Amino acid sequence: MSFREEWDRFGNQLARLIDAGIPVKEAAAAIGLPRQRCYAILRAIDRPAGRSRGPAGTADRALIVSVYNETGSINRAAKAST
C-alpha cells in the first residue's frame, strides 16, 4: 500500500484517536501501522502529534549574564530566561 493510500485510509481515524488523547504509540497499534508511519501521516495531514511549544521568545541577554554571574550555573541562567 502506498503512503498516499495509507494517508487517505487512516488519516482521519488517526487524527480522531490523537484528539481523544490516545498516545501515538497506542493509536499505531490499534490501526496496525508502525509508529513512525503514523507520525508521518499526521505530519502529512498537517496534524503533528504532541503539544505546541508556543512561540519562540527572544532571550534577554542581560538577564542571562547576570544570573550566570551570580550563580555560576548556566542551567539556572537558562531557566531564568524562560
Residues 37 and 68 in one domain: no
What is the pLDDT, as a whole number, of residue 36?
92
Percent of the chain clearing pLDDT 90 (strictly above): 16
pLDDT of 18 strictly over 80: yes
Total domains present in the chain: 2
**Comparing C-alpha atoms, which of 5, 43, 42, 8 is closest to residue 27?**
42
Residues 7 and 38 in one domain: yes
Mean local confidence (pLDDT), 20-49:
88
Does the pTM exceed 0.85?
no
Asked if 8 and 39 sit in the same domain, the reply is yes
Q: What is the pLDDT of residues 38-77, one digit of tens each?
A: 999 888 888 876 655 556 667 788 888 999 999 998 888 8
Tell which residue, 34, 41, 36, 40, has the closest CA to residue 10.
41
Residues 13 and 40 in one domain: yes
**52 lies in a domain?**
no
Range of the domain at 67: 57-82
